[in-house]
């Protein structure tokens, strides 16, 4: 077994780290100032200024990994999942930085869907501007009226009417819909409720400006609106789109959903590990800089235990995530399903634990806006739901384990 990143991976990581040091970390305060100034739902100047620099440096669309569809004008930089993983971790140290490299969700998953399953016309119309970073997108799946952890519960209807599909439903947690550049939604709904359970759903392209698409309200995550990205509750009322907007064909929605789940989980998990590393760094610096009861807080034994537990947990989570990435590269997503499910559970649980420790180390400062820990905790805790609930992943892992003894 080789626990070293490849030479190619190391070179890319060095380039991303250098860019982060030169352009991202010095602009963290500016980003916060712009995000909280005036209208919440706007394009931030700092983002638009830095994106061309990343593009010029060749640090663009790095998530588009090597695969059967990595060809022609849809080709990425040629990284494996294992090589991209540490880059995602580095970006995870600053939550908004992935957009600078055109590597932020849900655009990454939507681009993968279009590159893998889209027609040439769909790619030309929507994938091209997404890859260029000129528009953004949203993915509409979860619904307020049903337990969406079971995707077969989805009630949004997609009904064929002549040369069009008519879409009706209510969605929420439509991440990215708040961005004024969000031009296209990928919507999951039912085309045939009488078909076999996993053939009822389809995915379809719905432009944000289509008549009948309404953004009802911005949803808050533990009080944070996550603007200008945001998460919205949306209403689809008699929305009409042409037949050619269906992706892959009717009844293929589950297949598409499973196809997008693998690489995206590596991205999410490694970004979460980056967030945990950042929290541990802040914790150690804070502990060494504060004195309580006549000695540095870092000298107190309880914090030695917490620091050690944090480091152990981060290393465990990283190793399992890298194993999952390695398996996806070598034996495929299906064979790596168990490992993918395991990292979905272990990583956000680990990151919330480490960030919680860092909050405790900062005292009152930890729960305010000054250190970024409160918002980071909110985001990481949400991943235990947004990436599918822990309970679903644990059930899949347990069933697989029990099958070995049939």
Are 190 and 220 part of one and the same domain?
A: yes
Are 243 and 259 part of one and the same domain?
A: no
Query: Is 313 within a domain?
Result: yes
Are 52 and 14 part of one and the same domain?
A: yes
Q: Is the pLDDT of residue 260 over 90?
A: no
CATH number of the domain at 235, please.
2.40.110.10
Are 141 and 109 part of one and the same domain?
A: no
* Angle at 32 (CA atoms; ends 26, 36), nearest 5 degrees: 155
Q: How confident is the model at residue 258 (pLDDT cuts 50, 70, 90)?
A: confident
Query: Is 210 within a domain?
Result: yes
Mean pLDDT of 369-381: 96
- Judge whether 20 and 90 are in contact, CB under 8 Å: yes
Are 331 and 371 part of one and the same domain?
A: yes
Query: Is 72 within a domain?
Result: yes
Residue, of 88 and 264, whose pLDDT is higher: 88
pLDDT, position 67:
76
Are 245 and 268 part of one and the same domain?
A: no
Q: Tell me the residue range of the domain where 144 lies.
A: 137-251
Query: Is 2 within a domain?
Result: no
CA–CA dist 117, 246 (Å, integer): 10
Query: Is 182 within a domain?
Result: yes
Are 151 and 214 part of one and the same domain?
A: yes
CA–CA dist 264, 175 (Å, integer): 14
**Beta bridge mates, 291:** 296
Peptide bond into 106 cis (omega under 30): yes
- Judge whether 156 and 190 are in contact, CB under 8 Å: yes
Is the whole model's pTM more than 0.75, yes or no? yes
Which residue, 102, 117, 133, sits at the end of a domain? Answer: 133
Are 21 and 110 part of one and the same domain?
A: yes
Pairing relation of β-strands 291-292 and 295-296? antiparallel
CATH number of the domain at 63, please.
1.10.540.10
pLDDT digits (tens, 9 = 90+) for 296-336: 999 999 999 999 999 999 999 999 999 999 999 999 988 99
Are 363 and 322 part of one and the same domain?
A: yes
Are 80 and 124 part of one and the same domain?
A: yes
Which residue, 251, 269, 293, sits at the end of a domain? Answer: 251
CATH number of the domain at 281, please.
1.20.140.10
Q: How confident is the model at residue 244 (pLDDT cuts 50, 70, 90)?
A: very high
pLDDT, position 71:
76
Pairing relation of β-strands 164-175 and 231-242? antiparallel
Task: Please tell me the least confidently modeled range out of 63-77, 239-253, 301-315, 356-370.
Answer: 63-77
Residues in CB range of 38: below 8 A, 6 or more apart: none
Are 56 and 146 part of one and the same domain?
A: no
């Amino acid at each position: 077994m080789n626990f070293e990143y490849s030479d190619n991976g190391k070179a890319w990581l060095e380039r991303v780290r250098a860019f982060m040091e030169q352009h991202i970390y010095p602009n963290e305060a500016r980003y916060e100032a712009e995000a909280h100034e005036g209208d919440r739902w706007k394009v931030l100047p700092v983002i638009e200024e830095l994106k061309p620099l990343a593009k010029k440096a060749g640090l663009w669309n790095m998530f588009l990994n090597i695969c059967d569809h990595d060809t022609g004008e849809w080709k990425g930089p040629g990284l494996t999942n294992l090589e991209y993983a540490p880059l995602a971790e580095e970006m995870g140290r600053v939550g908004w930085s992935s957009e600078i490299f055109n590597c932020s969700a849900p655009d990454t998953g939507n681009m993968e869907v279009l590159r893998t399953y889209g027609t040439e016309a769909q790619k030309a119309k929507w994938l091209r501007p997404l890859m260029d970073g000129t528009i953004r997108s949203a993915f509409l799946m979860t619904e307020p009226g049903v337990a969406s952890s079971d995707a077969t519960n989805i009630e949004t209807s997609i009904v064929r009417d002549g040369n069009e599909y008519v879409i009706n439903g209510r969605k929420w947690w439509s991440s990215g819909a708040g961005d004024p550049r969000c031009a296209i939604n990928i919507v999951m709904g039912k085309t045939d409720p009488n078909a076999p359970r996993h053939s009822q759903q389809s995915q379809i392209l719905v432009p944000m400006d289509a008549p009948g698409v309404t953004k009802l309200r911005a949803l808050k995550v533990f009080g944070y609106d996550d603007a200008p990205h945001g998460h919205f509750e949306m209403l689809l009322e008699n929305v009409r789109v042409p037949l050619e907007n269906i992706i892959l064909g009717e009844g293929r929605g589950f297949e598409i959903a499973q196809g997008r789940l693998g690489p995206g989980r590596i991205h999410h998990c490694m970004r979460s590990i980056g967030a945990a590393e950042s929290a541990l760094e802040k914790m150690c610096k804070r502990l060494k800089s504060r004195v309580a009861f006549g000695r540095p807080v870092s000298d107190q034994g309880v914090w030695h235990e917490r620091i050690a537990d944090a480091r152990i947990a981060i290393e465990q989570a990283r190793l399992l995530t890298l194993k999952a990435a390695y398996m996806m590269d070598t034996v495929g997503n299906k064979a790596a399903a168990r490992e993918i499910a395991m990292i979905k559970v272990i990583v956000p649980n680990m990151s919330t634990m480490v960030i919680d420790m860092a909050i405790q180390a900062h005292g009152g400062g930890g729960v305010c806006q000054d250190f970024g820990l409160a918002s980071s905790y909110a985001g990481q805790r949400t991943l235990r739901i947004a990436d599918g609930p822990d309970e679903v992943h644990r059930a899949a892992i347990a069933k697989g384990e029990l099958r070995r003894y049939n």
